[in-house]
Amino acid sequence: MIEKDILTLGIESSCDETSAAVLRGGRQLLSNIISTQIPVHQKFGGVVPEIASRKHIVNVMPVIDEALSRANVGLGDINQIAVTYGPGLVGALLVGVSVAKSLSYALDIPLIGVNHLEGHIFANFLSYPDLEPPFVALVVSGGHTALVHVKGYGHFEMMGQTRDDAAGEAFDKVARVMGLPYPGGPQIDKLAKDGNPDAIDFPRALSKSRGNYEFSFSGLKSAVLNYLNSMEMKHQTIVKADVAASFQKAVTEVLVDKAIDALSETGLDKLVLAGGVAANSSLEGRLKHAATEHGVKFYFPGLALCTDNAAMIACRGYYQSLTGKYSALYLNAEPGLSLESRMD
Amino acid sequence: MLILAIDTATSVSSIAVADDSKIIAEITVDNRLTHSETLVPHIEAAMKISEKSKDALDGIAVSIGPGSFTGLRIGLGTAKGLSYALKCPIVGVPTLEALAYHFPVPGVYTAAFADAQKGNVYFGLYSFKEGNIIEVKPVQVLPFAEAVSYCGTLDAPVMMAGDIFRKKSAKKVSLPENCDKAPSNLLLPRAANVALLGMRMLSEGKKGNVMDMEPIYIRKSEAEVLWDRRHPETAAKSEPSSIMIDAISGERGVRND
Ligand SMILES: [Zn+2]
């Protein structure tokens, strides 16, 4: 089998999206099917883990079946299976892992357990066929914020990550307090478009210290909540659009500053944005602007590939297989898996 | 008919390989909850011990609930993958009925319990007649003490089994005179029973569909119960469902099941 013809079936079920994808080689995406549960969780104001698991077990086979049929391949043509084994909701992860393991056993093909966060970075390889390491990746997802020096396909160096709340969590909590429907991130993004980003001066935690790539958003989150409370106590009108715009500016400024710092320290000229929060248009816009100002090339996987999907898992799995990083059938879900430095 | 059976509804993880005439192999482990890790390796081992090729399987039987939500999904997810890849039928076997199959004794009842948390149980009542398990009372959720005292009112001896007897709280409930607890070798489910019942169901044409099969939960999730309590007016309304999207073309609602 020539490497570029290897067919990888990717499976993803870490949160509220059930997804399956077929990838030829490392870059040629044949299908990417996503079943989203957002409408199901909306009334609860967030993802309910038990409900998510219940939807995954129903959706998982139709999604796989559809991914194969859209790719125009049979299950017997698949050479290997890549599945997200963490981080995420344990019950949700277990659905994908159980199905992937039994498919791997039944078809006698290798299994590759993939770190979901590494998957987010690899989404960029699908959008940019010519993109190659090394580069700096800014990972901004619901539960994680991190700057990673990607030195090779299996060689990452963690530059810094969040100490407390991830950027995505801050977005969700602020949105909830402002009474915006779930999912909160896109709602704040939308609202912020009509607001004044300089209306309120929220704090930028840890932003001043050069060479420190840790993030902290819990202070900012508290500042927004305090602001909303105090305005309410004083019976003053809250201009939600201004709050959203100012909060969003505070978050994106920190992210942009640190990313630019990381680029100058590593001397690299490629910045890659990854993760669900990457869909935030203001963050994408500011990063792109800052990157261009600093003569840096900016990469962003596009909306469909920056939310949770199996294509990115298949892509990560493919490159993992090249260095022989397969998993045993004993693979278990690891809800607390983190993004770490590694050298395969 | 060569069949592979799976039961991960409780703390027991059990696999059986059976054909029409016998249980060929069974691997039953009750040693910490590691079903998600060991289930597929145990299936591999059971098939190897049986000296059967997986391509020769005529069906997959899976214990479908009620039981531990996560355990049921591990079993069903695994069974679905096998059924889909090996192109053989799948059948969901009611967990408590399979448990009652431990006691094929005419003239007595079997009360099968599965832990439903907070002192509650899933409770099913069965009898045995002419080689068949008969459901006397459909499975319901009750406080354990209430289910036990109901059994005390029955007109025949009652054999009781289920993981609820592993709970400390269950020891406080004293059993009525006509009731007795099963010994530890028959207290919890085993896949051999699932295999036999599954084979019968398949021969009766009772197949499941991997595309829409769900465990039998009986209970809604905690979040839904709370929601329904606070919003009685919307409780009966139909629920929104997931939307399938082709992320390459952007087409939404690509498949209607
Ligand atoms: Zn994600």
Structure tokens at A122: 């690899």
The more confidently predicted of residues A281 and A209 is A281
Q: So what's the ipTM on this one? A: 0.96
- Secondary structure (DSSP) of A31-51: EEEEEE-HHHHGGGTS--HHH
- Predicted confidence (pLDDT) at residue A284 exceeds the cutoff of 70: yes
User: So what's the pLDDT on residue A1?
Assistant: 64
Structure tokens at A30: 């044949």
pLDDT tens for residues B57-70?
A: 999 999 999 999 99
**Residues 6+ away with beta carbon under 8 Å from B222:** A50
User: So what's the pLDDT on residue A42?
Assistant: 87
User: B residues 83-142 near A, CB within 8 Å?
Assistant: 84-86
**Residue A93, exposed/middle/buried by CB under 10 A (0-12, 13-18, 19+)?**
buried
- Predicted confidence (pLDDT) at residue A28 exceeds the cutoff of 70: yes
Q: Which residues is B110 bridged to in the sheet?
A: B126, B159
Instruction: Determine phi and psi for A155, rounding to 5 degrees.
Output: -140, 100
Subunit contact A101:B54, Cβ cutoff 8 A = no
pLDDT tens for residues A36-92?
A: 998 899 888 889 999 999 999 999 999 999 999 999 999 999 999 999 999 999 999
Judge whether B214 is closer than 8 Å to chain A, CB to CB. yes
User: So what's the pLDDT on residue A144?
Assistant: 87
Subunit contact A31:B248, Cβ cutoff 8 A = yes
Subunit contact A63:B39, Cβ cutoff 8 A = no
Structure tokens at A333: 């879900």
Instruction: Provide mean pLDDT across the span A216-244.
Output: 92
pLDDT tens for residues A289-334?
A: 989 999 999 999 988 899 999 999 999 999 999 999 999 999 999 9
Instruction: Determine phi and psi for B22, rounding to 5 degrees.
Output: -165, 165
Q: How far apart are CA B122 and CA B120, in angstroms?
A: 7
Q: How far apart are CA A1 and CA A18, in angstroms?
A: 30
**Residues 6+ away with beta carbon under 8 Å from B164:** B113, B114, B115, B121, B144, B170
> What angle, rounded to 10 degrees, do the helices at A90-107 and B69-86 form?
30
Strands B23-29 and B109-115 turn out to be: unpaired
Ligand 1 center–CA A307 separation, angstroms: 6
The identity of residue B68, as a single letter, is: S
- Predicted confidence (pLDDT) at residue A206 exceeds the cutoff of 70: no
The chain-wide mean pLDDT, for chain B, equals 94
Q: Kindly report whether the global pTM for this prediction surpasses the value 0.90.
A: yes
Q: Which of B34, B81, B211 sits opposite A103 (nearest CB)?
A: B81
**Residues 6+ away with beta carbon under 8 Å from B87:** none
Q: How far apart are CA A199 and CA A179, in angstroms?
A: 20
Q: State whether the Cα torsion B186-B189-B191-B195 is positive or negative.
A: positive
The chain-wide mean pLDDT, for chain A, equals 93
Q: How far apart are CA B106 and CA A172, in angstroms?
A: 59
The more confidently predicted of residues A225 and A209 is A225
Q: How far is CA A229 from the centre of its chain?
A: 31
Instruction: Determine phi and psi for B253, rounding to 5 degrees.
Output: 60, 45
Structure tokens at B253: 């609602």
Structure tokens at A139: 């990972």
Q: How far apart are CA B255 and CA B257, in angstroms?
A: 6
Q: How far apart are CA A205 and CA A223, in angstroms?
A: 11
pLDDT classification of B32: cutoffs 50, 70, 90: confident
The identity of residue A342, as a single letter, is: R
Q: Please count the helices (runs of H) and the strands (runs of E) in chain A.
A: 11, 11
- Predicted confidence (pLDDT) at residue B257 exceeds the cutoff of 80: no
pLDDT classification of B235: cutoffs 50, 70, 90: low
Q: How far apart are CA A176 and CA A148, in angstroms?
A: 30
The identity of residue A323, as a single letter, is: T
**Residue A35 C-alpha, separation from nearest chain B C-alpha, in angstroms:** 4
Determine the 3-state secondary structure of A223 from DSSP. Answer: helix
Report the residue of B6, B228, B248, B252 to disrupt the A interface, i.e. the one with the largest count of A CBs within 10 Å: B248
3-state helix, strand, coil in chain B (%, to 5): 35, 30, 40
Q: How far apart are CA A203 and CA A219, in angstroms?
A: 8
Place of tokens 């160096």: A157
Contacts of A98 in chain B (CB under 8 A): 36, 39-40, 73-74, 77-78, 81
Strands A80-86 and A111-115 turn out to be: parallel
Contacts of A105 in chain B (CB under 8 A): 40, 43-44, 54, 82
Contact of A120 with A275, CB cutoff 8 Å: yes
Q: How far apart are CA B85 and CA B79, in angstroms?
A: 10
pLDDT tens for residues A105-151?
A: 999 999 999 999 999 999 999 999 999 999 999 999 888 899 999 99
Ordered structural domains, chain B, with CATH = 3-95+190-203 (3.30.420.40), 103-186 (3.30.420.200)
Contacts of A96 in chain B (CB under 8 A): 77
Q: How far apart are CA B6 and CA B190, in angstroms?
A: 8
Judge whether B43 is closer than 8 Å to chain A, CB to CB. yes
Instruction: Provide mean pLDDT across the span B243-251.
Output: 93
User: So what's the pLDDT on residue B141?
Assistant: 96
Subunit contact A29:B248, Cβ cutoff 8 A = yes
Report the residue of A11, A61, A85 to disrupt the B interface, i.e. the one with the largest count of B CBs within 10 Å: A61
Beta strands in A13-154 (DSSP E): 17-24, 28-36, 80-86, 111-115, 135-140, 145-152
Contact of A122 with A342, CB cutoff 8 Å: no
Q: How far apart are CA A342 and CA A224, in angstroms?
A: 36
Q: How far apart are CA B96 and CA B139, in angstroms?
A: 8
Residue of B100, B146, B152 whose CA lies nearest to B126: B100
- Give Dmax over CA atoms of chain B in angstroms: 67
Cβ atoms within 10 Å, residue A129: 10
Contacts of A20 in chain B (CB under 8 A): none
pLDDT tens for residues B135-182?
A: 999 999 999 999 999 999 999 999 999 999 999 888 889 999 999 999
Percent of chain A whose pLDDT exceeds 70: 98
